[in-house]
A and B are shown apart, each in its own frame.
Chain A
C-alpha cells in the first residue's frame, strides 16, 4: 500500500501509481470503543484548555521533580545551558541557586526588596507579587557535565551520552546537547519568560545559554488531546501517570544506575521541524495512513473514538492501519512494546520563517523513560524511514537525565550527585 513508500521515492519513482490503494482501507469496520485510559483523561483534564488560575501551584518538593509526570502545560521553554562555573564547589553553588530560585518562583510571593541598595531584584514582568501559575522548573543534566571538569565521571547515569544521529536526522550540534537542561513550563508565557530571566540573572556567571527552544500546547480543538502543527492530536496514547507501579517500571531510574539517580529519569528532547507547506499539499488519507489515526477525531483508523484501542489483532496485514504507520511502528501493542513505552510530553514550536520563505514550525518532542536504549532508542529505530520522515527534520535536542526531586528545605537539586 502507498503508505509503505517513503514520499520521496514515491514522488521520484512511481509517479502517482497506486494512490487509490488506501481508499479501500478507509472503509475499515468501526470497532467498539474502549474506555479511555486514565492517563489520557488526566492529561486532558489538566491540559491546555483549563482556565488558568494564577495562584495554582505544583508542589516544588517531592521524590521526583515536579515537571515530569503532570501533563504538558500551555507554555514552555527548553533552555540548555553550558556550565561556566570554574570548580565543583561553584557547580554546587549554581545548583543551589537554581533550587532557591525555582522554589521561590514556583511557590510565588513578594520578591526581595532592595531599597536604594540596588536595582529591583525582580523584573516585574508578573507584577509586584510573583504568582506561581503552575510553574514547574525541571532540571536535567547532560553527558558533558560528567567530563573531566568537575570530577563527576564515575557518577554518570549508565546510558547518558551525547545524542546520536539517527537515520533521518539533520542535527545541528550547536542546538543540541548541553550541560544542564531547564524545562520551564507554566500556564502562561509571561510566567515562563519571567522564570527564564530570573534564573538566568541569578546564575549569570555560572552558566550560559547554549540553545533555547520555546514551545506551547494548543487548546483542544475542539476536544480531547491538543493537536500538533500537522493537525493531528498528539499525546493520546501515553502510559497512565496515576499508576505508580507503571511509572516505576517505565519512567523512574532504578537498577544499573548510580544510587544518587533514584527518582530521576532519562529525558529525551528532539526538536523536529515539520515541513508544513509540503505536508499541507498531501492528501488527507495519505496523511492519516502515515500516522495511523484520523486527523479529525484522533481515532485509530481501525476504531471510532480517540481513545479506542487500535486492535491490530483485527488488522494483521495493515489493511486499515498500515504496518509502517507511525503509531503502529512506535507501539505495535505487543507485550514487549507495551513494556517499553515512553512518557511523551510534546510541545509545538513556532520558529518564524526560513530563508526559503517557508514557515519554521514543528514539535519539541519530549520523552521520559527509565531505560534509554530499550525504550526511546528502540522506538526511534523502529521509526527509521517511516513514511512520515519526508515531512519532518529532527535538528535539535539532546539526551539528559532529569535529577531526582528536592526533598526538604535543606535539599537542593543535584545534592545527591555532588555529595556522592
Chain B
C-alpha cells in the first residue's frame, strides 16, 4: 500500500497487494546514454506549442490527439477527462510491450509521458479504477532512423505471471524452515552445554540460514521481529529490554556475560521459529514481494550490514552478506524466465552476483571463521562497496519490471 515505505517493508509485516511505485537507485551500471535529438515532426494537437502532443485519456476515448509521428523522442501531455483515476500505457500494438506509463492519473489531471520510439505500431491504453480497458487508435511509425537511445519496451508483468514464481519461492522457503528449526535447536543445545565456542558456531550457522530467507520477511510478519529484530533507537542489542532473537543472543555470546544468560532467549527463539513454521504454512506470499525483495535484500545489506549497525558483537557481517546474496539468488531464480523474456540482462547480473559471492567469501578463513568488517583494509572495503553496490544497481530493474501491472 502506497503509504508504507519500502524501507519499512523490509522489516515489518505488510502484505501489500497494491501496486508499489518503484523508487530508489537504478540500474544503469556501465550503460551509455546519449543525448536525445530535438523532437521530430508530429501531427497532432500541440497546445503548448513546444512539440509535445496533447492526448486525451478517458474511458470512452483513449489516446485521441495523436494520429501520426515519425520516430524519435516524443513527449505526450496526457489529460484524464474521465471522472476517476486512470492508468495509461503507451504500448506496442503488436507485442503489448509498454514504452511508458502514467499510473493513477487523477481525474482532470494531466501529466507528461516521454518515450523515444522507433518503427512499429503503437497505441494508448487507458485502464479505469474498476479495470475497464479502453484502447486507442493505432499509430504507425515507419522509416525512422536507427538510434541507440530508444526506450526499451517491456511487456507488463501481471499478477497472474507472478503466480507460479511466487509458489516456487514459497516452496523453497517452506523447505528451508526445518533447516532453520534444526539450526536454532543446535544453538539452544550448545548454549545449554556451556560450550561458548560451539554456541558461537551454531549461532552463525543458524543466523546465516535465516539471512537467506529475505524475500519472505514481509510475510513472516511479527515472527521476523521476534527472530531477527534489531535494537530500538538509542539502544543496543544488550540494553533493549524488548529485543529477542538472534541479535539478543549474539550480544551475550560475544560478551563476557554468562553463557547461561542466553538460554532463555535461545528457548524463546526455538519457539518463535516453530511458530513461524506453523503460520507460514497458511500464509500466502504477496506476488509483488518476490520481485521487490530480489532488489531490496541486497539494498538492505548495503545499508544495514555494510555500516556494521546490525552487528551485535559476532563480527559475522560477511557471513550475513554471503547469506543475503544467496537469498537474492533464490528470489531471482523463479523470476528468471519472465525477466529473460523481457530483455533483462541476466548474464551481467549473474556475473556480479558471482563476483560478490567470491569477494565476500574471500573473507572466510580455512577454518570457517569470518573476518570482521572492521578488520579489512581500506582497499578491500572499496572493493566490497563497489562490488555490492554495482550488484544492487543491476538488481533494481527487477523491482521495476516485476511491479504488477494490468496486462492488456
Contact = CB atoms under 8 A, between A and B. Distances in A.
A351 interface: no
Instruction: Please tell me the size bucket of the interface on B.
Output: 35 or more
A115 B35 contact: no
Contact of B36 (A101, A110, A205, A206): A110
A205 B28 CA distance: 11
B23 A117 contact: no
Contact of B386 (A108, A115, A205): A205
A84 B396 contact: no
A101 B352 CA distance: 22
A46 interface: no
For A94, A109, A115, the residue with the greatest tally of chain B CB atoms inside 10 Å of its CB is A115
A121 interface: yes
Contacts of B390: 204-206
Contact of B401 (A84, A110, A117, A205): A117
A100 B148 CA distance: 13
B221 interface: no
A204 B393 contact: yes
Contacts of B98: 115-116
Nearest to A112: B33
Contacts of B352: 205
Contact of B115 (A107, A115, A205): A115
A84 B387 CA distance: 8
Contacts of B25: 119, 201
Given A104-B34, A111-B33, A116-B101, A201 B393 contact: yes
For A104, A107, A116, A118, the residue with the greatest tally of chain B CB atoms inside 10 Å of its CB is A116
Given A109-B35, A110-B73, A119 B23 contact: yes
Interface string A80-112: 001010000000011011001100100111111
A120 B396 CA distance: 11
A110 B114 contact: yes
Contacts of A206: 30, 386, 390
B101 to A, nearest CB: 6
A110 B36 CA distance: 5
A188 interface: no
A135 to B, nearest CB: 13
Interface string B33-55: 11110000000000000000000
B57 to A, nearest CB: 17
A202 B31 contact: yes
Interface in A7-22: none
B200 interface: no
B342 interface: yes
A25 to B, nearest CB: 49
Nearest to B401: A117
A82 B382 contact: yes
Contacts of B386: 84, 204-208
A203 interface: yes
B26 A121 contact: yes
A190 interface: no
Contact of B28 (A84, A121, A207): A121
For B33, B114, B344, the residue with the greatest tally of chain A CB atoms inside 10 Å of its CB is B33
Contacts of B405: 116
B377 to A, nearest CB: 11
A128 B29 CA distance: 21
A104 B24 CA distance: 22
B214 interface: no
A174 interface: yes
Given A84-B382, A204-B390, A117 B32 contact: no
A109 B29 CA distance: 20
Given A117-B343, A208-B386, A202 B114 contact: no
B387 A104 contact: no
Interface string B334-351: 000000001110000000
Interface of A: 82, 84, 93-94, 96-97, 100-101, 104, 107-121, 128, 174, 201-208, 210
Given A112-B33, A118-B400, A210-B382, 8 more contacts: A100-B32, A104-B35, A112-B34, A112-B149, A116-B405, A117-B342, A117-B343, A117-B397
10 contacts: A108-B35, A112-B149, A114-B152, A115-B154, A118-B26, A119-B24, A128-B112, A201-B25, A204-B386, A208-B382
